[in-house]
Structure formats: C-alpha cells, structure tokens
C-alpha cells in the first residue's frame, strides 16, 4: 500500500503518522521524493486502515500497486526517475545508446571499439568479462582481466562502462575496478542472493528481463534491489522466449507503455539479444524509442565473423553511426532528445 500525503505536510505530521503505522505492525518505507511525503506500507493491513487513512485531510490518496511492489511502483514518485551512470543521465526526456562488444576480447580490441563507440556518439560502453554461455565449451570471458581492460578503455574514451556480474563472489572485483554499472543478465534476474548482494554495493544496476519472466516477476526482482538499498535501477527488455524461431527471442515492446504506468524506473531495450540478426537491429531500435524506451543497448564488433561470442547480432562501427543518427531523429519525433555525446 502506498500513501501519498498532500504537498506541504509537515515533517512532524509525517513522523507521527509513520510511528502510528509502525505500532500497527507495519513496516513503513519512505520515498526519496522531495516534492511531497510518500510512504509505502509493507505487511498485513489492519481492518479499516485504508478507510482511516483516506479520511485524513493530509492524505491525498492511498493506492495498491501491482502485486507487492512498493519502492519501484510508479506512485512512489511524482515523475519518472532519472538514473546517473557516471556522467550520463538515463531517463528524464533524453535517449541514450549503449554499445560495445559482447565480450572483451583483448586490450587493443576493446579500446579500438570504445573509440568507435565514442566517435559514433553513443554514451555508455558495454562489454562482457564474465560470460554466461549455453555450452561449457564456448568462450567464457577473461574475468577480472576483462574488467580491467574494459575500464581502461572506458577511461581512455570518457565513457562509463557496463558489464555483467554473474556471481556475488565477483563483486569485489567489480568494485575494485570501478565498473560504473552492474548488469544482471536474463539468466540471473531471479538470483535473489545476487540481487541482495549487489543492492548494497552503491552502484547503478541494469536489470534485464528473464528469458520467460512475466512483467510482474521482473518488477519484483527490481523491488529486491530497491528494498536492499539500490537507488539507481535500469530495467532492460531483451526479448522473451516464445515458440517463434524466426528470431533469437521475441522482442516485447508492448510492455513499454504499460511499464510507464507501473514503475518510475527508466526503461531500456536490447534489440540485439532479442533479434540475434544484425540487419534488423536498427528498425527494432527505432521502434523501441518510438514506444518510449529511454535508450537502446546494442553490440558492435569490427569483424563480426571473428567475434568470440554473438557475432551474428553485432553491428559494424559504421552501422552504429547510422543507428545513433536514427536514434536522434526518433527521440525528436517523440518530444525528447538524444543525450549529449562524450567529449573524451
């Protein structure tokens, strides 16, 4: 249950209300919203509580979000959240492009791709150091050395970096190398031990939708992060598994306008893992921005045929230039703008 108090309610009134609710056996969580006090109530609601709250002159409304959502629910904020990832703001009327190799394949390679990502006008550098692969015989990434190479490439180009974490035991390495955003992949969306561990790390988290997860399950995974103390969460739709075999997964853009009603968190789309086919990534990116995405995440490689992972869905650097230009046009068409590019 979420209780939104009227503008101008005094701190003394809020504190008294919070204490009275806690005496009822409820856990009371407060929104960081500055324009008005908003309280989220967790626990079994006493009989007649809702009626009692709605009758108060200092309570504007009482809402029941989807499932047991509280902190990530739309009604916990006056407007959609903006998440800082390094120098880049995600959400708030601008569109970002995240790009980079699927896997970090070596120091010179990732630096070369990073320069091309920057020169294309993209905003964040992605790259996998720990790679979850279907087969144990496929390339698994360079691990900690991959993190070091990715971060060095990001610093050389003034691009914040995003990389996937698979195991809480690896968290110290991500923090030591100051990875700007921790990505939780589709396979780990409901790895609650991992979510609890990284929630306390103080880093932005990019949470991908699970392979067959419902929107409600996805949002409740985000609630685990928020409840654990993570204040900067990015949600990323990356396609779900269906019976259709024409593409790697089925990109579910229908969720974007609905998610705007259900959560205040920024929304990204990864058309690369949805499609698995490089040539259809640009139109899917345009469609994602048209549907309201705050950004898209794509993969780039100088020679996709030689990529150590996911080559068929990797764009060439020149194709990334066109995608960024098209993203600028689509952002403008939807009343927004493309985030300013890095000048590093």
pLDDT tens over the chain, length 344 residues: 999 999 999 999 999 999 999 999 999 999 988 889 999 999 999 999 999 999 999 999 999 999 999 999 999 999 999 999 999 999 999 999 999 999 999 999 999 999 999 999 999 999 999 988 788 888 888 899 999 999 999 999 999 999 999 999 999 999 999 999 999 999 999 999 999 999 999 999 999 999 999 999 999 999 999 999 999 999 999 999 999 999 999 999 999 999 999 999 999 999 999 999 999 999 999 999 999 999 999 999 999 999 998 899 999 999 999 999 999 999 999 999 999 987 76
Is the pTM value of this prediction over 0.85?
yes
* Three-class DSSP labels, the chain: CEEEECCCCCHHHHHHHHHHHHHCCCEEEECCCCCCCEEEEECCCCCCHHHHHHCCCCEEEEECCCCCCCCCEHHHCCCCCCEEECCEEECCCEEEEEEECCECCCHHHHHHHHHHHHHHCCCEEECECCCCCCCCCCCCCCCHHHHHHHHHHHHHHCCCEEEECCCHHHHHHHHHCCCCEEEECHHHCCCHHHHHHHHCCCCCEEEECCCCCCHHHHHHHHHHHHHCCCCCEEEEECCECCCCCCCCCECCCCHHHHHHHHECCCEEECHHHHHCCHHHHHHHHHHHHHCCCCEEEEEECCCHHHCCCCHHHEECHHHHHHHHHHHHHHHHHCCCEECCCCCC
Outline which parts of the chain fall under CATH 3.30.70.1140: 2-64
- Going by CATH, does the domain composed of 2-64 fall within 3.30.70.890? no
- Domain 83-338 CATH (choose: 3.20.20.150, 3.20.20.70, 2.40.50.140, 3.90.199.10): 3.20.20.70
Q: What is the pLDDT of residue 344?
A: 65
All CATH 3.20.20.70 domain ranges in the chain, comma separated = 83-338
Predicted local distance difference test score (pLDDT) of residue 136: 85
């Amino acid at each position: 249950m979420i209780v939104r108090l009227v503008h101008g309610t005094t701190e003394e009134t809020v504190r008294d209300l919070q204490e009275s609710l806690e005496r009822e056996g409820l856990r009371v969580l407060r929104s960081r919203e500055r324009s008005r006090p908003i309280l989220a109530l967790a626990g079994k609601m006493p009989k007649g509580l809702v009626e009692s709250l709605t009758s108060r002159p200092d309570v504007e409304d009482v809402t029941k979000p989807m499932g047991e959502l509280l902190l990530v629910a739309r009604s916990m904020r006056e407007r959609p959240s903006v998440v800082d990832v390094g120098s880049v703001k995600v959400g708030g009327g601008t569109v970002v492009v995240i790009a980079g190799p699927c896997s970090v394949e070596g120091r010179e390679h990732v630096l070369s791709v990073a320069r091309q990502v920057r020169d294309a006008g993209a905003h964040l550098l992605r790259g996998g150091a720990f790679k979850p692969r279907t087969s144990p015989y496929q390339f698994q990434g360079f691990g900690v050395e991959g993190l070091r190479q990715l971060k060095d490439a990001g610093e050389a180009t003034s691009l914040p970096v995003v990389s996937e974490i698979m195991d809480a035991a690896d968290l110290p390495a991500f923090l030591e190398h100051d990875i700007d955003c921790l990505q939780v992949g589709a396979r780990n969306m409901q790895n609650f031990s991992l979510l609890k561990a990284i929630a306390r790390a103080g880093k932005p988290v990019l949470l991908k939708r699970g392979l067959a997860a419902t929107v409600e399950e996805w949002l409740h995974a985000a609630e685990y992060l928020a409840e654990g103390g993570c204040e900067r969460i990015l949600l990323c739709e990356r396609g779900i598994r269906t019976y259709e075999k024409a593409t790697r997964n089925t990109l579910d853009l229908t969720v974007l306008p609905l998610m705007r009603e259900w959560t205040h968190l920024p929304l990204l789309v990864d058309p690369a893992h949805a499609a698995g086919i490089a040539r259809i990534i640009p139109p899917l990116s345009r469609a994602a921005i048209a549907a309201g995405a705050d950004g898209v995440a794509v993969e780039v490689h100088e020679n996709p045929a030689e990529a150590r992972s996911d080559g068929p869905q990797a764009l060439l650097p020149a194709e990334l230039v066109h995608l960024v230009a098209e993203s600028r046009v689509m952002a403008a068409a939807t009343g927004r703008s493309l985030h300013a590019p890095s000048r590093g």
